[in-house]
Structure 1
Amino acid sequence: MDYQQAWKHLDSLLFFKIKLGLDSMERFLGRLGDPQRRLRFIHVAGTNGKGSVAAALLSVLAGAGYRVGLYTSPHLSCVRERFRINNDFIPEADFARQATAIHAVLDGEQITYFEFTTALALLWFAAAEVDVAIMEVGMGGRLDATNVITPLAGVITNVSLDHQAYLGDTLAAVAAEKAGIIKPGVPMVSGAAADDSRRVVEERCRELAAPLYLLGRDFSWQAAGETAGADADRAQSPSARSWTYRGLHGAIEGLNSPLRGSYQRDNLSLALATLELLATSLPVGEQDIRAGLAAVSWPGRLELLELSREEQGGRRRVLLDGAHNPAGVAALVAALEADFTYRRLVMIWASMADKDVAAGLNLIAPLCDTLILTRPESERSATPAEMRRLLAPEGRVRVLEAADPLAALDLAWRLSSAEDLVAVAGSLYLVGAARRILLGELVAAVPRPEKEDRS
């Protein structure tokens, strides 16, 4: 298969719904030569922040001279975004080569989209002989296709309700799924809050004799002029301020990162604690840490753009954020209140219908002067009319509807000025579509199939 054929074949797997389970994945990888047995891993799970932790690990380790694989999901607009070695996305030729190998071994057998991409990542990383591969869990952990690996260390960023149809509708149930990545004796780092989720993670670590290091107990961060601790008042700590990491074996002062939002320091601290645990197998220096954090990039997550659109005229600030569950939206609200200044907030919003649409909408609406409801190119997305019915009484916010992301951006531009902030959030589908309109593809532009998965 060439690249276009490989992409079309992968796209066809969207007809096969999410399937949680490891037996078939392990058998399939066995037929591919068990590439996972030839690699070292860091495994990253959690409800929010997984990608930021993974991106920070990549930035520091790659800057220190290691050859690092990174597998993340979902992607914003092109499937190649899911696969990186250091700063390079997978080339089309490599994607086609590994996809062809998988297709040949399957010989007509059906697997899911995520199983296919996970196998492709493992094959590519093994062929490239990376020093370490960072694998982000797709959903949950216990039965996720990535859970065929045994890592050097694992991370559970945090636990909140999301994907309830698959993971359960209590924190304890969701935490049990995420704690499924814990392996006997493998050290774990976690930012789980002091609630049922932390108790589940702690219990599982005790059962498997897996050392556990907790944010706020074993390591923490503090901003300049602030009391140490993970529970410090973030609203008084704009993300531009330098901060101190107080780690397992000492402190590093004067750290900076372009990642916006004070909560990102939780994620960066999780990454730094993980690197401390790997000091013997993957040593990095303090300068590597400083440079790596200063260079880390994670598009579509509190990503602030300043640009003009030729057809619309006028310069605007546009904030892109992938917040799509109640915890993520709450973090976005906190960031908008603490880290940004603007005259009016013009929000473009969409949501997948299988999310808690009402909760997210009603968290963000009180901050908005204008709320533009739209629908990205997905049959899973809620319609603007459906979302509008779920809104609490509108109050001062003006609620409008747009047929698609392009129409929503056009409307937002007309209704805003340079002193305002245009924000795009609620769905990574929406963020990916808006970012592509505004900036083009993250990777080299290629013809796109009609549908693409984001799960």
Structure 2
Amino acid sequence: MKFTNAHEVISYLYTLPHLHAKSDLSYIKRILAVLDNPQDKVKTLHVTGTNGKGSTSYYLSNLLQKAGQKTGLFVSPFVREFNERIQLNGQDIPDQDLVKTANIVEEALTKIRQQDEEFSLVTFEYEVALAFEYFALNHCDYAVIEVGIGGEHDKTNVIMPAVSIITTVGLDHEQIIGPTLADIAVEKSGIIKYKRPVVLGNVPELVLPVLTEKAEKEKAPVYLLNRDYHLQAKERFEYRFADRQLHFKLRPEVEGYDIAIAVTAFLLLKLPLNDEQIMQAIDQTVIPGRYQLLSNKPTIILDGAHNIQAMKNLLKFVRKSHQEPGKIKVLMTMMKDKDLAQVFSLFKDEEVTLTTIPYPRAAKLADFPAAVRARYRYEADYQVAYRKLRENLQTGDTLLITGSFYLVSAILKLEEDRCEFKE
């Protein structure tokens, strides 16, 4: 097969299966070997965590660019378009490069199939192969690699990173890497590599020994939040690590942790960047779909929070910054395989409207728990739901769109189309 445009590549990726019969790294290692192991030609930083791994990856990417490093970034999910998944120096992979790289991967697949005609990749493996090949082709100095799910068995776990990062450990994807918090910690500890430093963020005391014991076994130096590096929220965030003291604009507390983690990992690389440049790089970083302010008057916030920990953090921030006597209105859907009952138990006085999106995993009305259906109204058409909510916002109201990056993406697209139409 030879691709001629980006639409063909992206459409093809979505026709691939999501899982193999066995969950190991043999398939991704085989395709990378035929591609001459592009993942070994670029220095990497490996980022996992239940929450915060995307934000941390964006902050790291910006710091590396500021230090003059040609920087690759592999993240998921995308918010506006697929090309966001693979970036070079903050720019999405251009369509023509996506096509070129996909055709190189196809050539490698053809070689393998001459000996093993049944060989195939799942969607995420193909995306990982694309990213590593693209970064190697462009001679990146560093690539920041965000894990898909977990760590040990994730298809990105074929690298020997300069630094490993575990942002948080919480409950999410329990069916795949759980069911317990300890199971999830064991899976995430899989990115800790021999003698490579590991930066740990806000990790629960309960499972911290799981990570530190793995690090000890691998002789990997550990840098732990509130022990080796520190963050305090005052009028601004104040950060300390070794002899460095920095400060950053105040934002949600969890974003502060992500900043502290990213800065610590960056400082371990000993690249030439002074304090002022580090602070600038952080404050200039824009993370799509995370605490994203779409409008100030009225206040409309987009955030892809899709598990209990992320939703808890988001609601804490929104409630704290919300001005009475206005109302907090929420438009949300979630994937039906998430812990819906737990997430919805977090809501108090918020006015929630349930919706859905045209995506196979998205919850429809019947997928929401009975108590949730009884409590909140449901509008099947997310566009109608959003327009109604937006038009009826009163002074002081806050509208929050959340529960899924797919919904955030759809609303952003809706807003872009609305602005183009007005122009």
Q: TM-score, normalised by structure 2?
A: 0.92
| Counterpart Cα distance in 2 of 1:339 and 1:19 | 47
Superposed displacement of residue 18, structure 1: 9.1
- Which residue is 1:295 aligned to? 284
| Counterpart Cα distance in 2 of 1:405 and 1:24 | 38
- Which residue is 2:357 aligned to? 376
Which amino acid is the alignment partner of residue 294 of structure 1?
A: D
Q: Do 1:168 and 1:174's aligned partners in 2 also have CA atoms closer than 8 Å? A: yes
SS across alignment from 2:299: strand
SS across alignment from 1:75: coil
Is 1:437 the counterpart of 2:419? The answer is no
Which of 98, 105, 117 is equivalent to 1:95?
98
Which amino acid is the alignment partner of residue 340 of structure 1?
A: H
Which of 300, 319, 334 is equivalent to 1:337?
319
- Superimposed CA distance per residue, residues 265-309 of structure 1 (whole angstroms, 9 cap, x where no aligned partner): 111000111112111xx33221220110110111111111117xx
- Superimposed CA distance per residue, residues 197-219 of structure 1 (whole angstroms, 9 cap, x where no aligned partner): 21110110011110011001111
- Which residue is 1:187 aligned to? 197
| Counterpart Cα distance in 2 of 1:346 and 1:367 | 9
- Which residue is 1:130 aligned to? 140
Q: Do 2:202 and 2:257's aligned partners in 1 also have CA atoms closer than 8 Å? A: no
| Counterpart Cα distance in 1 of 2:414 and 2:323 | 25
Which of 224, 241, 252 is equivalent to 1:247?
241
Q: Do 2:355 and 2:381's aligned partners in 1 also have CA atoms closer than 8 Å? A: yes
Greater Cα offset, 336-345 or 423-432: 336-345
Is 1:34 the counterpart of 2:37? The answer is yes
| Counterpart Cα distance in 1 of 2:46 and 2:149 | 13
Superposed displacement of residue 346, structure 1: 1.0
Superposed displacement of residue 91, structure 1: 0.3
* Change beyond 3 A, Cα 1:293–1:19: farther
Superposed displacement of residue 349, structure 1: 1.0
SS across alignment from 2:199: strand
Q: Do 1:261 and 1:339's aligned partners in 2 also have CA atoms closer than 8 Å? A: no
- Superimposed CA distance per residue, residues 55-93 of structure 1 (whole angstroms, 9 cap, x where no aligned partner): 111112212222110000111242101011112110000
* Change beyond 3 A, Cα 1:271–1:176: same
Which amino acid is the alignment partner of residue 241 of structure 2?
A: G
| Counterpart Cα distance in 2 of 1:340 and 1:127 | 47
* Change beyond 3 A, Cα 1:440–1:48: farther
Q: Do 2:169 and 2:204's aligned partners in 1 also have CA atoms closer than 8 Å? A: no
SS across alignment from 1:430: helix
| Counterpart Cα distance in 1 of 2:286 and 2:304 | 14
- Which residue is 1:356 aligned to? 339
* Change beyond 3 A, Cα 1:178–1:336: same
- Which residue is 1:268 aligned to? 259
SS across alignment from 2:348: helix
Q: Do 2:73 and 2:87's aligned partners in 1 also have CA atoms closer than 8 Å? A: yes
| Counterpart Cα distance in 1 of 2:129 and 2:323 | 44
Is 1:110 the counterpart of 2:120? The answer is yes
1:7-406 maps to which residues of 2 (within 5 A)? 7-14=10-17, 20-107=23-110, 109-224=119-234, 241-252=235-246, 254-256=247-249, 260-279=251-270, 282-306=271-295, 316-341=298-323, 343-363=326-346, 365-368=347-350, 370-387=351-368, 389-391=370-372, 394=375, 399-406=376-383
| Counterpart Cα distance in 1 of 2:102 and 2:289 | 27
| Counterpart Cα distance in 2 of 1:403 and 1:124 | 40
* Change beyond 3 A, Cα 1:15–1:118: closer
| Counterpart Cα distance in 2 of 1:14 and 1:439 | 32
- Which residue is 2:397 aligned to? 420
Which amino acid is the alignment partner of residue 375 of structure 1?
A: T
Superposed displacement of residue 358, structure 1: 0.8
| Counterpart Cα distance in 1 of 2:7 and 2:374 | 48
Which ranges in structure 2 are unaligned for 5 or more consecutive residues? Answer: 114-118, 419-423
Q: Do 2:331 and 2:401's aligned partners in 1 also have CA atoms closer than 8 Å? A: yes
Superposed displacement of residue 19, structure 1: 6.5
| Counterpart Cα distance in 2 of 1:32 and 1:246 | 42
* Change beyond 3 A, Cα 1:139–1:167: same
| Counterpart Cα distance in 1 of 2:140 and 2:381 | 41
| Counterpart Cα distance in 2 of 1:25 and 1:390 | 43
SS across alignment from 1:66: coil
- Superimposed CA distance per residue, residues 216-242 of structure 1 (whole angstroms, 9 cap, x where no aligned partner): 111111123xxxxxxxxxxxxxxxx42
| Counterpart Cα distance in 2 of 1:205 and 1:262 | 27
| Counterpart Cα distance in 2 of 1:76 and 1:423 | 16
Which amino acid is the alignment partner of residue 359 of structure 1?
A: Q
- Superimposed CA distance per residue, residues 5-26 of structure 1 (whole angstroms, 9 cap, x where no aligned partner): 2222212115656963212211
**Alignment size in residue pairs:** 407
| Counterpart Cα distance in 2 of 1:303 and 1:134 | 22
Q: Do 1:61 and 1:284's aligned partners in 2 also have CA atoms closer than 8 Å? A: no
| Counterpart Cα distance in 1 of 2:145 and 2:203 | 23
Which ranges in structure 1 are unaligned for 5 or more consecutive residues? Answer: 225-240, 308-314, 442-455
Greater Cα offset, 99-108 or 152-161: 99-108
* Change beyond 3 A, Cα 1:161–1:194: closer
| Counterpart Cα distance in 1 of 2:162 and 2:142 | 9
Superposed displacement of residue 340, structure 1: 3.2
